[in-house]
Structure 1
């Protein structure tokens, strides 16, 4: 398996854990679970925690604890899958289910990620409005810019990304810790909240929302991939050690997430329920009441924590999207494009909600996003339990009997409660008016039944059909046999010239490929506005200067007894270079990499990649030498 066939190939095994002991060993494994934990404290969780605390005081803290226990078990199964089999959840599904089922699983998972991203957009916009009095429409628009932030973080490596996320989690935790000192909750009442109690119809609905918002499906995909960023010893002892250290990473991170969720619920209970405000379901209402009761400090901290939670969840949602797309479909696209598409698909309903329903529309959309997330849970949880219980593939690391019983019980609980939530929501939509009832009966209900049948198939397929543990198809095919390898001789070599320090290296590498028997074409593209519109008819100062400089290179090569000629292109560099290569019969191209990163790539473009896709000849990329 090559580097590019692995989950998150750019950072796969990029963090070394070997030859370390004690605390250094533990610290080398810390990180993946923190990226996962931010999904448990996103704006969707805030909405359910605020509703629970304001309506029922401290009585539903035990539901939060139960949700955290479920998440701990499922995330540790996800860790086990990634470490033992070296596959993320999407890849394992690809090896088990037919292509059509994988496509359906991808669509559902992508919808869940868009729904999650929608929650982050709304949370970020509300946070900006609360902190800077920015209109929600502007706040929603600003969230498009986090694409640049993600590209910057990914370019810096996995450790930098993890450090950024942990910093945001620290901000959220400290903000709520400070608010706890401000509101001064009743410790005895909090302790009583950990004792399970009977749930009424209203509290059951909130409890379902808490569980659905906590156990997010894309986090299972994400964690099974992120644990593979650690380079480990693949012996039985090494795998055991990796599982143990990741267990502590998961336990610490998810308990911190539990602290944040409990803090939100306790804050709502202490600030609102105790004072008689029992229906605070909207984040803006909570902020207003905090201002009225405690002054400016608590609401400011509240808004800062909301922005930090939304931004960190956005980053991890993007990573999950990459894992799901590559795992289920073998499809790889540029990270910035994938991020932009996901954000665009999520931002459209946010705009419509604001335009047609105002601020209240966003709050309803936030709750709806959690309902959509709940639909996807079974499609992630059920395959995960199947894959980690398979003794043939997991060996000694397969789930024990008690883990299987516990996991299946929680899976049944999650699916059952979320099915109940979906049924209740559909019933409410149908009862709203005759138009919505028609839509529900002829569109929503058939889709729900189809999804139910698909879920049943996902559950039964691994039980009824046992397959050999080999990929049905992999992104780049299977390695071919190597025999009769003859030397390749290039007769016509193209060299791209940009009159930089890189030119000398490009020419030298080209001469090494072709020697004095080959013909060399030096290519330069003029990108002025005149060149773009008038092409070869333009004779501005830059074009004449570039042509003269290019001829100097040609003359220098002639003196060294090389065959060389100059070709000028006009307008877009990639298209012009490809056109010259294809029309001139060039059979090998040498290009200099400009060395741009992240922001400059977005501004100046990536010519090398574009040319590679437009020509059918080998391309040698020469990077600038650092001195």
Structure 2
């Protein structure tokens, strides 16, 4: 008699636990709209990296030098980004691990440390873009000298990141608000400028015009498909919505797919708007040599008006400070994941910011430095993409969420295209 009731206790406990709604079921019970709003967020944080100040530099120079010709590159880069970010998000949801952690678990230690070193180099290139952009934005809006403006941008970025201490949702909402400001700024400028619809459609046909256009094309891809965003997205989704089983993970993945399409669609729209505005205003004999963001701001004020120039500068500042906070977050994920090291955020960020402050202090053309930083970022993409595609294609890692044949093929085509572009750029730049 004593053994009877205790033997039935686990079954009764299991039935009781299954009767309790899961976290996901409680969210879904609030209605589809409220559930959707609760699920959205991770992709919007990742999307900010796709409209960082490096995008301003590459898109403005692309439009000024080549008109609408490189619009197809911007579109292609954003279309490539969507499956990449979705795979990263899926990795976090299916495994409750982020990409750097899984690399450490499944790859040899020397490979892991090498991955970490290259990721830190990429982080420095990212910082150049983010802090230079924010500094230029402060300089344009308030006349703050470039070096102090960079320091202010760093302080603001840490302030935004500190919102995480009060819950991930506040950080997500703050970053999403900055993304909305960037999109609204360029939507306003596009409506004011009125770019040519016919030439925009013509720019969607793939063409290039020599090695310089290839250099910018690779820079645009480097500014769009961001390595640190690939690492970070898996960390943003891991454990965010607790799932009881694979069926619930599948439902969360459907929401995440929409999150990625919406967030990166907004980022892609902003990027295309940057290029068509530059093509309309600056692709003229007098302005096609435009080489700085400050010059672009001045010409927008002269050709369109002060409000359009203000919208441009506000969007640039929003881009710089928001992407800086996201970059700081990504840096912590990379270091902790690859080599299981944790150092104070301020110390780590101070080290990776050094190249950006050297550029600010020495007076190097910041726009040229931005474009170069994006090309460097492009060379870091394969180091993020190859492990991502490999791991998400392994059933022992992903279980039933493993990549299907079509997904695997698309992912490898994207990775191969980026690697081929980088190899071609090396040949053109250094061997010809």
2:25 aligns with one of 2, 18, 33: 18
Q: Given that residues 89 and 224 in structure 1 are in contact (C-alpha distance below 8 angstroms), is that contact kept between their aligned partners in structure 2?
A: yes
- The change in CA–CA distance for 1:202 and 1:364 in structure 2 (over 3 A counts) is closer
Q: C-alpha distance in 2, partners of 1:30/1:348?
A: 34
Aligned length: 408
**Deviation, structure 1 residue 133:** 1.6
Question: CA 1:227–1:44 in structure 2 vs 1: closer, same or farther (change >3 Å)?
Answer: same
Structure 2 distance, partners of 1:250, 1:345, is: 32
Q: Spell out the pairing of 1:462-501 with structure 2 (5 A cutoff).
A: none
Displacement of 1:323 after TM fit?
Answer: 1.1
Would the aligned equivalents of 1:17 and 1:230 in 2 still touch at CA under 8 Å?
Answer: no
Q: Distance in 1 between matches of 2:157 and 2:287?
A: 39
Match of 2:350 among 344, 358, 364: 344
**Are the equivalent residues in 2 in contact too, given 1:49–1:261 (CA < 8 A)?**
yes
Please state if 1:367 is matched with 2:377.
no
Query: Is 1:69–2:76 an aligned residue pair?
Result: no
Matched, 1:327 2:337: yes
Please list every run of 5 or more consecutive structure 1 residues that lacks an aligned counterpart in the other structure.
1-14, 429-627
In structure 1, the residue matched to 2:359 is: 353
User: Quick one: distance in 2 between partners of 1:123 and 1:60?
Assistant: 22
CA contact (8 A) 1:140 1:347 kept: no
What is the correspondence of 1:103-142 to structure 2 with a 5 Å cutoff? Answer: 103-142=113-152
CA contact (8 A) 1:55 1:278 kept: yes
Matched, 1:217 2:227: yes
Distance in 2 (alpha carbons) for counterparts of 1:355 and 1:319: 25
Moved more, 184-193 or 100-109: 184-193
Q: Does 1:39 align with 2:49?
A: yes
Q: Does 1:418 align with 2:428?
A: no
* Equivalent of 2:174 in 156, 159, 164: 164
Give TM-score, length-normalised by structure 1.
Answer: 0.62
- Per the TM alignment, residue 317 of structure 1 is displaced from its structure 2 partner at its CA by 0.8
The alpha-carbon deviation at position 229 of structure 1 amounts to 4.4
Alpha-carbon offset, residue 148 of structure 1: 4.2
Correspondence for 2:275 among 261, 265, 269: 265
Deviations along 1:432-466, one digit per CA (max 9) or x if unpaired, are xxxxxxxxxxxxxxxxxxxxxxxxxxxxxxxxxxx
Between structures 1 and 2, the one with greater helix share? 2
Note if contact 1:17-1:29 (Cα within 8 Å) is conserved in structure 2: no
Matched residue SS, 1:58: coil
Residue 309 of structure 1: how far off its partner (Å) = 0.5
Higher strand share: 1
Per-residue CA shift, 1:135-188, capped at 9, x if unaligned? Answer: 112212322313540453121210000010011111111111111122121222
- Alignment of 1:208 with 2:212, yes or no, is no
> Distance in 2 between the 1:40 and 1:181 partners?
22
Match of 1:283 in 2: 293
Question: CA–CA distance in 1 between the matches of 2:264 and 2:158?
Answer: 28
Q: What do you get for the CA RMSD once the two structures are aligned? A: 2.0
TM-superposition CA deviations, 1:543-588 (whole Å, max 9, x none): xxxxxxxxxxxxxxxxxxxxxxxxxxxxxxxxxxxxxxxxxxxxxx
For 1:418 and 1:71, locate their aligned partners in 2 and report how far apart those are by CA, in whole Å. 17
Alpha carbons 1:48, 1:281 under 8 Å: kept: no
Hey, what's the Cα distance between the residues in 1 that align with 2:202 and 2:307? Answer: 29
3-state secondary structure, aligned to 1:18 = helix
Deviations 1:460-488 (A, max 9, x none): xxxxxxxxxxxxxxxxxxxxxxxxxxxxx
1:101-127: CA deviations, max 9, x gaps? 211111111221121112111001111
Question: 2:401 is matched with which residue?
Answer: 397
Q: CA deviation at 1:195?
A: 2.7
Question: For the Cα contact (< 8 Å) 2:75–2:268, is it kept in 1?
Answer: yes
Could you tell me whether the CA contact under 8 Å between 2:55 and 2:271 is conserved in 1?
Answer: yes
Query: Corresponding residue for 1:507?
Result: none
SS at match of 1:367: helix
Is the deviation greater in 199-208 or in 311-320?
199-208
Higher-Rg structure is: 1
Q: 1:397 to 1:186 in 2, by over 3 A?
A: same
Greater relative contact order, per chain length (Cα 8 Å cut-off, separation 6+): 2
Name the SS for the 1:231 alignment partner.
coil
Give a deviation string over 1:501-520, Cα, whole Å, max 9, x none.
Answer: xxxxxxxxxxxxxxxxxxxx
